[in-house]
Structure 1
């Protein structure tokens, strides 16, 4: 006699918890096979996913962590301090006769030797560094201001864009030394013509780069949102767009400093810079050509300083541009 089964009874379950499927008559119940599950990858602290996320969240290296920037700044600071402080520590000035022998070679008392009149070359090279610093401090802000304003107006107005760009084309068509000759013909020889030449020569590049940077920022979402909220044009430019273009201006400032050193040296080499008996790096280099065979040491000081200044400013500009572009 079979045991009756009530309605509340449940079918037998397998060890895995699945109901057994009824088989044919007289055959035992069978259990359907389970599909194997993919094993879960264990989460390891500090694994590949966390490393990738940390790499994406890691901030970019700042400019002051770049060895090229640090090296260039170190050389520039050293030369600037030497030109500003050392002349007051020397026992003689750049125009004083300190030796009876002209073109005397380097010695303990005169590390760079003496010039054709018996003046200390170290004192005159330091005076030349001071002249270059004066030209940089006077001309680079003028170049950034003039080029920046023209570039800003060019980016803000379609009517001014074409005339300003054609003006930049005309200025860039002339080499900087040709512009220096023109300024010297109008203003006369001296530092004034050198400063004006540097300001005119460096303005077009600054203006064009700032114009492109402002136009690029003007299409960003935050600018579009500010316009929708009713922010005024000049307030938008001064408080939002221009601060985001500061990196571009900083790079152009370093390039303008290199241009200032080059133009000052070139114009002084041609006799259009500091009048004698004043000393400048370009005039010292020009005089050294006359005594190059008899006193080759004469050109060492001004040549090394001019090369170091131009190279360091150029490397600084390139490193700043590379570092800021990686942000």
Structure 2
């Protein structure tokens, strides 16, 4: 009897593993059928490679000044994206700026996910905590996102670390609401009720059975939130609240170049295009993931 039960359990586990593997393959196929998502993946891959290999891709020191070569136009000898008003190579600053934007985005989104997922799971699963947590979330929603980030930076001080913390706090309420909604739709299903009847602990049910079923909206949120985080970090740096000179951050580069918009427009246009492309990439990949993870989507369409 016990041997038979063990064999059945093994077959069930193997079947579940094959089902998950098939689901992953199906999701990837759906994503790759979305041409815009593929373009976005390529742009993101380029940014990641720029961030990793910045010391080798940069042709000059990104913060070293050379006033004799100030405001060189694009395609200048040795400076194919030109130089800024201090003679610093713009290509090198763009490359290192990709690293800063990516790190700030990943850190802020990760911290926001941790806080939002924990609060969302607790609010969705424990009815007694739902009202309290959601009122706190509503309080955070009362502030416009960028103003909330500015308030947090005003308290903590300027700098990229504080920018990442501010953006992560801004991300928590949205993530919490998304996760709470997913938990509410899952926790009353038959297999969850069966686990409770078998005596499984709440922690085990939440971590091993509810959280995995909430991963799809969390992944989509994280991808699209990366775009918001990068754009927000650039906006705060543009306002002087984030990266401080001479840090090669894209938003700070736009702020420094706006005074030279008519004489050297490339100082503003180049980092602006970089921000636009990366934000576009994460948004279209997020849209593609949302469609690919939708169980109602037909791969043969």
- Which fold has the larger relative contact order, with Cα–Cα distance below 8 Å and residues 6 or more apart in sequence? 2
Q: Is the 8 A contact 2:159 2:244 kept in 1?
A: yes
Q: Is the 8 A contact 2:54 2:99 kept in 1?
A: no
Q: How does 1:41-190 map to 2 (within 5 A)?
A: 61-98=29-66, 100-106=68-74, 107-190=76-159
* CA distance in 1 between partners of 2:201 and 2:56 (Å): 52
Unaligned 5+ runs, structure 2: 1-25, 297-301
- Higher Rg: 1
Deviation at 1:290, TM superposition (A): 0.8
Q: Is the 8 A contact 1:274 1:280 kept in 2?
A: yes
Count of residue pairs the alignment pairs up:
270
Q: Deviations over 1:261-288 (max 9, x none)?
A: 0111011000111111112110111122
Residue ranges of structure 1 left out of the alignment (5+ in a row): 1-57
8 A Cα contact 1:99 1:114, kept in partner: no
Match status 1:249 vs 2:184? no
Structure 2 counterpart SS, 1:100? helix
CA shift, 1:206, in A, is 0.8
TM-score (norm 2): 0.84
- The alpha carbon displacement at 1:99 in A equals 5.9
Question: Comparing both structures, which one devotes a greater share of its residues to helix?
Answer: 2
Displacement, 1:305?
A: 1.0
Partner of 1:270: 239
Q: Offset at 1:101?
A: 3.2
Q: CA deviation at 1:62?
A: 3.7
Residues 141-187 of structure 1: per-residue CA shift (max 9 Å, x gap): 11000001011111122222112112112212222321222122211
With normalisation by structure 1, the TM-score equals 0.78
Q: 2:84, 2:247 → 1: CA distance? A: 13
* Aligned-residue CA RMSD (Å): 1.9
Match of 2:190 in 1: 221
Alignment-derived partner of residue 304 in structure 1? 273
Q: Deviation per CA, 1:186-235, whole angstroms, max 9, x where unpaired?
A: 11110122011111111111111011101111122222222233322221
Q: Is the 8 A contact 1:176 1:263 kept in 2?
A: no
Match of 2:253 among 264, 284, 289: 284
- Cα distance in structure 2, aligned partners of 1:268 and 1:213: 35
